[in-house]
Amino acid sequence: MGGFIPLGDASRRPVRMPVITLLIILLNIFVFVLELMGGEPFVMHWAAIPEQVISGHRWITVLTAMFMHGGWSHIIGNMIYLWAFGPEIEDAMGRVRYPVFYLLGGIVAMLAQIIASPHSTIPNLGASGAIAAVMGAFIVTYPRDQIRSILLILVFVTITFIPAVVLIGFWFLIQLFNAGAVAHVQTGGVAYLAHVGGFIFGAATCRLFERAQPRFAS
């Protein structure tokens, strides 16, 4: 068995501090603390339950669910991926367009899963769909950038550099392969189809959100 953990873009550094990405991470952590305090009732109240949304109830959960997580590994994994790819996309889009793009990506991803499973009563939650949109934007904007990553193969662990098009492309193929399956996370679930929907949205629309001439430090 093996895998990889992206650490960040080794080919470029954003000109400005990724304030919005940091704020999104802090907001996710804050909501996770609320989840730990509120337990299952909190999750059931704010996670997106497809059957309820389709019936015209609790539409706000399409938004709130993207800031919730089902456990420590869920939030840690998502925030690692957001920090690995978010700063460069924030710098390319700017501090106004980037959060709009992030939120829209998360909403599209959540709706993709809800539409695919309209009668499901499984709570859907997680930032994965929005982060998938960021990754979709990254593979279009910086496909040749080298991503510093931790590579794990059995007991072998090393730091390596993987082209974004390879790393993100491989990740997306896995999502396509598992599309329609739900990875249960405690009382909630995260759908692979949401990842696919978010990724496609990000790849298809990122140029519309990017600034005309993004500048980066050498």
Q: Is 214 helix (H, G, I), strand (E, B) or coil?
A: coil
Q: Has residue 218 been placed in a domain?
A: no
Q: State both tokens at 109.
A: 């991803």
54 — alpha (psi -120 to 50), left (phi > 0) or beta? alpha
What is the Cβ-side half-sphere exposure of residue 168, based on CA atoms within 13 angstroms? 33
Q: How confident is the model over 12-50, as pLDDT tens digits?
A: 988 899 999 999 999 999 999 999 999 999 999 999 999
CA distance 197 to 206: 14
Which structural domain range is residue 100 located in?
A: 2-212
pLDDT attached to residue 197:
94
pLDDT attached to residue 8:
95
Which residues pair with residue 163 across a beta bridge?
Answer: 146
| Model confidence, pTM | 0.89
The rounded percent of the chain whose pLDDT value lies above 90 is 76
By the 8 A CB rule, do 80 and 5 touch?
yes
Q: How confident is the model over 170-198, as pLDDT tens digits?
A: 999 988 887 654 444 333 444 688 999 99
Identify the CATH number of the domain in which residue 168 sits: 1.20.1540.10
By the 8 A CB rule, do 128 and 68 touch?
no
Instruction: Report the b/e string of 81-93 with b at 16+ CB within 10 A.
Output: bbbbbbbbbbbbb
Q: Has residue 217 been placed in a domain?
A: no
Domain tally, the chain: 1
